[in-house]
Structure 1
Amino acid sequence: MSQTKNPLPREVADAYVDELVALDPVTGTYLGVKESSSRLPDLSPAGQEALAQLARDTLAKLDEAERRPGAESDIERRCARLLRERLTAELAVHDAEEGLRAVGNLATPAHTVREVFTVTPTETDEDWAAIAERLRAVPTALAGYRESLALGLERKLYAAPRPTATFVGQLTEWAETDGSGRGWFEDFAAEGPEALRTELDEAARAATAAVVELRDWMRDVYAPTLEGAPNTVGRERYARWSRYFNGTDLDLDEAYAYGWAEYHRLLAEMRQEAEKILPGAETPWVALAHLDQHGKHIEGVEEVRDWLQGLMDQAIDALDGTHFELAERVRKVESRIAPPGGAAAPYYSPPSEDFSRPGRTWLPTMGETRFPVYDLVSTWYHEGVPGHHLQLAQWVHVAENLSRYQATVGIVSANAEGWALYAERLMDELGFLTDAEQRLGYLDAQMMRAVRVIVDIGMHLELEIPADSPFHPGERWTPELAEEFFNAHSSRPADYVESELTRYLTIPGQAIGYKLGERAWLLGREKARKRHGDAFDLKSWHMAALSQGSLGLDDLVDELARL
């Protein structure tokens, strides 16, 4: 877009998106920018610095824009606050050189390189020609990533050993998916047209060779250097990452205490619900283990994909017109099976800006073919409808009334994850979880988010376990104690819990945003309800709340209370 001579904050934000897409074609692909489909970003230290300089330049332009007449309007003010907060948080992470040790089981540059292919258009031969070019760019992109990690080693900026070991295993799986010698990129390219077969196969083999080269270097050079390095980050680094993911400077000790308060509240509710399923069960998780064997379940991978699609379609039909007002293009969401070799948690990818690619939920099967229903219902209310899909697709739908930045690039994790957890609770409040199996599954999912607050803050800050805890009271948290605690308070299998704990070590401060974000959404709703009294209309509030774009937790409660 062309920028006016004296831009307002929204124009500065949208100009930033244009310049960001030029530097980061992965962002462009998620936005649906066709020209991005053949390229990958520069993941080297120079590429990271180019992004940081763009942020600095944009902040300088924002300083000027906020002095323009009209910048005081609510819509300009919200955009300016979001842009300033996000870019400042991103620069704090960059200036601490966190990008030189970005290793883990998800959300690393290498994961980004692979996952962008799953949302790249594949409808035409022209699309596949762009994919072939993007495949040829994989070796350079991964070499840039390796250059960043090597500089981190030189500066003694070490990643955590445990996530590094997991990452090496993931790279091995990407390099050979089924024992046939073919890698993930070759399997992906096999879906392309015969007219481009030779070109696609050669490019995919080169991409796989780059994965093998990165894996070997990570295993033989990088990982041994980390011996003795801590798996946790400490209070200073944790506070920086917490600001990045939550959009606020949290009182981490208060948040830790809140996690424990939620733990005790939820445990009491779970015991009541478990009694309906397995009277006399020693713990709620004994009842959930009973459901694993004897509860309702779906057999088959394609069957569970179809069932999840039906669950979302039913939710849309039930909620539209009663608790939400949904545009036709927001009503479309697709259920997908996640590619192998990733983390265990389900996830969501938002629609492109023109909705030519719809929002999609992704289920990692982890090799399973039998799926208990109790573990899926509230999770898909979270990932799909009324959770991530309704919020993020609505932001894209109303982007013209906001800015591209507020609707897409400027997403604050705790806002989005807080809404999705609020959505699970909303479906319980609205009576969609009357079945005892589904309701215990919902409470188990809520408990997992409370446990996340406890262990993520506890182990990274090495806090003391409270005296009234039923688990190791008075001891200091370690990753090993965190995994033991999680296993004792979750229905998830051990490999899922292991993946979750590795995730927390990979991206500290992100996992706490679910519960703390939900708290912000509930508080904002309660304040709006008190302000309106009997005139409060939940449907109107929901649509206004979902149409204001991204906000950090610093601003979210205040803005929700105004609605």
Structure 2
Amino acid sequence: MSQNHDARDPIFALSDDLVEAFAAQCPADATMAGVPSDDGAWNDWSPRGAAAWASTLASFQERLRALPPPLRGPEAQWGRLARRVMADYLDERLDDFRHGEHLRDLNNIESAFQHMRVVFDLMDTRSAAGWAAITSRLSTLSQACDSYRASLEEGRRTGNVVARRQVRAVVEQARRQAGEASFFSTLPAAYEASGVATSEGHARLASGVERARAAFGELAGYLEQTYLPSARAADAVGEERYLRLARRFLGASIDPVETYAWGWSEVHAIEAQMARLAAEIRPGASLPEAIELLMTDPARCAHSPDEFLRLMLERQQKALAELDGTHFDIPEPIRRIDVKLAPPGGPLGAYYVIPSDGFKRPGTIWYAPGDKQQFPLYEEITTAYHEGFPGHHLQCGLQVYLEDRLSRLHRFLVMYSGHAEGWALYAEQLMFELGYFERPDYVLGMLAGKLTRAYRVVLDIGMHLDLPIPRSAPLHAGEAWRYETAVEYLHTRAFLTLDHAHSEATRYLGWPGQAISYKVGERVILDLREELRRRQGTAFDLKAFHAKVIGSGSVGLDHLREIVLEDAGELAAS
């Protein structure tokens, strides 16, 4: 696309400079973000590397403040947006450094440790240059681990440590990648199948694989023998840190007590809906009995990973074809989507990876199903719409595509969970409203997903802020939250498998504030839709509303409200 935003505003050149600095100093993160960089290099995660990156961010903060005043008028709106997005990005990341978050960057799902493994999923495996970069990263993974360990050790020395539960989870993941079942051991076969293999390349790759496995083995040893004895016994992070991190994910502040109570009201409402639908699926059946039927009935399952992936891709393609031009305007590059199985050894579930710059790497849904070979479809249809189209794939793909209005920083480095996950959960609701859950099985699956997200609100806030379980709750009423209680709720009330329930509860405790972003974000988007519908009456345009919500890139929820209502000419009246 040609760039049509107002190039007179120097914010766009400054944004380009910041992305280039990011690519130079954080090359592994740049690969994950889809930004061209040295794909054979690693971040320096050490305290020295962190200080260097913080200094770079501070220098850009000064450069941003020194810019001339923004231009006026509607034609300059994108420049004003770019300025606010950069200011928020710099403030938030420098705040993380001030609070020492880089010294306790360790959890079971989203920390530098997982990035050191997942980055290989996103690298070029079709060219000789791509495999050379992979080999380089494999061979030098020990250096990345050393730099990462240096920051963890500084945190340990200063008492800035994570909980033991998170350490044990990462040790288990690291041991797997160091062992015979390691993802790294699959790379030689993939190299052979690439069509660019040479005998010399094989030898270098094999050596790199062994070095990478050894590096993760050494890191596991450090974590288990040195770090774990110093780790915190308590899982909860407390109110101050929780609310700070929640605001970081949401781009908005919450009243935790009100949100906790609202989360419970959502739980009760969704459970009542599910109970009524269960009787429709199997007359006379209780909700657990209906779920058991949907989980085990062969006629309601895919019977191999290949069949499952095919069905999920077909579902994406059908929705894309039918909704283009009616509820969304879908640019050509976004009409391509990949669906893949994630390598084993990580947390269970599904996740989405954004396209790379220029869409050379398409947007991809990754499924991590564990060791199951039968895939109950009732719960997967709603996940397909959430992770794919019109959820993350549309929102994130559009953000990458809109180079005519969004700064490069905004397109690749800015993502608020409240906006992203709120939109994806809203997308599930929208597809229900549009009739894309054609069987009651799939509607129940959508409600089950909503129930899990509602339980995330009460579990995340309840555990970290030590709020009591309400007297009206179905289990352990009036008691304090414990890890085991959260697992019991997720397993028996949200119908997750026991392994998945353990993985989820560990995730909430290690990634405080993120789990609430789904329902809180959906709440804001639905409230905005109803507010506009009420004010605009018959003039309300659903397609235009969608364009407003995702057409300005990912922003904080407070900022989103301003954009939607201001563009509608409504903000002054609110």
1:120 corresponds, among 119, 123, 127, to: 123
1:186-242 Cα offsets, whole Å, 9 max, x none, are: 32244222341011111121111101100111112211222x621111111111211
- Structure 1 residues 350-359 or 303-312, which shifts more? 303-312
- Is the aligned partner of 1:27 residue 2:29? yes
- Is the aligned partner of 1:53 residue 2:46? no
Match of 2:42 in 1: 40
Match of 1:207 in 2: 212
1:478-520 Cα offsets, whole Å, 9 max, x none, are: 2222222222222220000100011111110001000001111
2:226 corresponds, among 209, 218, 221, to: 221
Match of 1:493 in 2: 497
How far is 1:547 from its partner? 1.8
How far is 1:374 from its partner? 0.5
Can you give the 5+ residue segments of structure 2 that lack an aligned partner in the other structure? 1-5, 192-196, 569-574
- The amino acid across from 1:249 in the alignment is S
Match of 1:471 in 2: 475
Q: Distance in 1 between matches of 2:18 and 2:256?
A: 32
What SS is found at the alignment partner of 2:39?
helix
1:402 corresponds, among 389, 394, 406, to: 406
Match of 1:327 in 2: 331
2:107 corresponds, among 101, 104, 109, to: 104
Can you give the 5+ residue segments of structure 1 that lack an aligned partner in the other structure? none
- Structure 1 residues 189-198 or 28-37, which shifts more? 28-37
Aligned residues: 554
Q: Distance in 2 between matches of 1:88 and 1:479?
A: 33
- The amino acid across from 1:549 in the alignment is G
- Is the aligned partner of 1:131 residue 2:134? yes
Verify the 8 A CA contact 2:9 2:71 in the aligned structure 1.
Answer: no
Q: With the length of structure 1 as denominator, give the TM-score of the two structures.
A: 0.94
Verify the 8 A CA contact 1:65 1:71 in the aligned structure 2.
Answer: no
Match of 2:309 in 1: 305
Verify the 8 A CA contact 1:90 1:244 in the aligned structure 2.
Answer: no
Match of 1:265 in 2: 269
Query: 1:281-292 alignment to 2 at 5 Å?
Result: 281-282=285-286, 284-292=287-295
Q: Distance in 2 between matches of 1:366 and 1:336?
A: 13
- Is the aligned partner of 1:198 residue 2:200? no
- The amino acid across from 2:208 in the alignment is A
Verify the 8 A CA contact 1:176 1:184 in the aligned structure 2.
Answer: no
What SS is found at the alignment partner of 2:378?
helix
- Is the aligned partner of 1:411 residue 2:415? yes
What SS is found at the alignment partner of 1:37?
coil
Match of 1:550 in 2: 554
What SS is found at the alignment partner of 1:374?
coil
Q: Distance in 1 between matches of 2:397 and 2:319?
A: 15
Verify the 8 A CA contact 2:70 2:80 in the aligned structure 1.
Answer: no
Summarize the Cα distance change of 1:84–1:271 in structure 2 as closer, same or farther, 3 Å threshold: same
Query: 1:138-157 alignment to 2 at 5 Å?
Result: 138-157=141-160
- Structure 1 residues 75-84 or 15-24, which shifts more? 75-84
Identity of aligned residues (%): 35
How far is 1:79 from its partner? 2.3
- Is the aligned partner of 1:173 residue 2:167? no
- The amino acid across from 2:77 in the alignment is D
How far is 1:5 from its partner? 13
Verify the 8 A CA contact 1:523 1:557 in the aligned structure 2.
Answer: no
What SS is found at the alignment partner of 2:42?
coil
Q: Distance in 1 between matches of 2:15 and 2:236?
A: 35
1:91 corresponds, among 72, 91, 94, to: 94
What SS is found at the alignment partner of 1:542?
helix
Where does structure 1 differ by over 6 angstroms across 4 or more consecutive aligned residues? none
Verify the 8 A CA contact 1:103 1:163 in the aligned structure 2.
Answer: yes
Verify the 8 A CA contact 1:452 1:511 in the aligned structure 2.
Answer: yes
How far is 1:87 from its partner? 2.3
What SS is found at the alignment partner of 1:334?
strand
